Amino acid sequence: MKIALAQINPIVGDIKYNCKKIAEYIEKAKSHNADVVVFPELSTVGYPPKDFLFMKDFIKANENLVEEMILPATKGIAAIIGTVRQDIRGNLYNSAFFIYNDEIIETFDKTLIPNYDVFDEKRYFKSSSQIKIINFKGLKIGVNICEDVWKDYVFEPNVDYSVDVLAEQYKLKPDIFVNISASPYHLGKQSMRVEMIEEKIKKYGIPFVYVNQVGANDELIFDGSSFVVNGKGKKVKELKAFEEDFKIVEVEKLNDYEELPEIKEDISWVYKALVVGVRDYFKKLGFKKAVIGLSGGIDSAVVAYIAVEALGKENVLGISMPSRYSSEGSVQDSEVLARNLGIKLRIIPIEPVFESYLSVFNKGNDPLGDLAEENVQARIRGNYLMFVSNREEYLALATGNKSELAMGYCTLYGDMSGSLAVIGDLFKTQVYELAKYINMDKEIIPISIIEKIPSAELRPNQKDEDSLPPYKILDEVLRLYLEENASVEEIVKRGFDENLTKDIINKVNRTEYKRKQAAPVLRISCKAFGIGRRMPIVHNFKL
């Protein structure tokens, strides 16, 4: 029997587009003489649909379009499709429809409903009350949905799944498992998935087909990376990462397929993820052009490169906005970067507007050099970017990194302005790593940008380390606290100063009000700011 893996990129809410794409891939599977074609979780509505699921018209539209567009396409072929099911009581289920010859012949509802990190499915879905398999043309298939295979591999507190879906399905003696997923990516996730499935299948001894969504929706990026593990627990087929893809496997020959090597997830995966995140954010919103404030620093340089890769150089505009404190090298570096990228660059000094602020608020006296004067420079730049955005139909991209966002080393309505925070989940040290990757074959980001001492250039001779610990130390403390939920005691045991650790954590906790007003952050770590980290703005907890 031939099974087709259809790794598609759905658009949340565009049910007609999604169903049309599904129907096209069904026809493609037919042309390859496939018996069954498998699609990702909730592929008719896109993942995550969030509170659209509370709208009766949304649910009805999904039901109608599945019936009108997908069922007729299944003449002569079976399709396993992720969608929403509503029962007669109005309860919703995250489901897989097994469709054959214009008829839904079986439904599989998701059993384990995730409600942690970025997941909020218990808000919408009921859990399945039945574990089952289906016999199709003599092949017994155990269909399950995303989280159903993650029992014992969820490293979140208070997640206790009493049902082992694979173990229960295995009791029904299936010949193969098929899992449909919408599994968001973070660095290391694919290695974790493959290792988990290979270990489970060594116990069960039957093949496993995993089909994952690809693309990006809001902060979440989906890598696809669908794969097949044979009955020996060896990965023998893998689809592309961060691209739509389609492949066929013959079930009876899986043990004869060559084992594939382990994939090393490095900074190149982060790069690809961010490109997809930017590209889909623009494409699915209907925008084409991005504007970026080029400061001559490494953050804006990396964001500009990613924007060019995602949107094309003709659709990216850089604006250099020097002030009296900007170094000559910063403007020159921005010019070189723009030439290397092939993008347009405008130089618009902020000095006239900055001078007007100083004269209004200092009443003719000399500048005070205080925080208000520093921050108003960032806010003038933010206003310049938004003016261009409004007048010329660009979306502004924010260029702040995770280290800055964590410490509040950023200005509301200033450098935080933008529709999307492209590198907001990369620590500063990771930004340097990404810049070096970008320059791997040739110098695109000027070496002078990479080697210069980081500075906001808002006062004379300013350096980031005037206000922050060295990034090498800061980033590791932040990583332990934010991504490993480590306590002060645990961090100190790793060799960090206790007072410094407490100071860093206290600054993170008291600057939540800024992050609540930040642009959506593309997620590439296991704990990004935004949807997966829910902290109060108003609190008085201190270490």
Active-site residue set = 41, 110, 146
Residue 283 and residue 273: Cα distance in Å, rounded? 15
Contacts of 40 (CB under 8 A, 6+ apart): 7, 8, 10, 47, 82, 180, 181, 182, 211, 212, 213, 214
Residue 288 CB neighbours (<10 A): 14
Q: Taking the C-alpha atoms of 348, 352, 355 and 360 in order, what is their torsion angle to the nearest 10 degrees?
A: -120
Phi-psi domain of 35 (left: phi exceeds 0; alpha: psi -120 through 50; beta: other)? alpha
Identify the CA nearest to 118 among candidates 152, 91, 149, 147: 147
For 82, phi then psi, to 5°, come to -80, 130
Residue 471 and residue 454: Cα distance in Å, rounded? 10
Q: Which runs of E-coded beta strand occur in 251-326?
A: 289-293, 316-320
Contacts of 115 (CB under 8 A, 6+ apart): 121, 122, 123
Residue 541 and residue 69: Cα distance in Å, rounded? 54
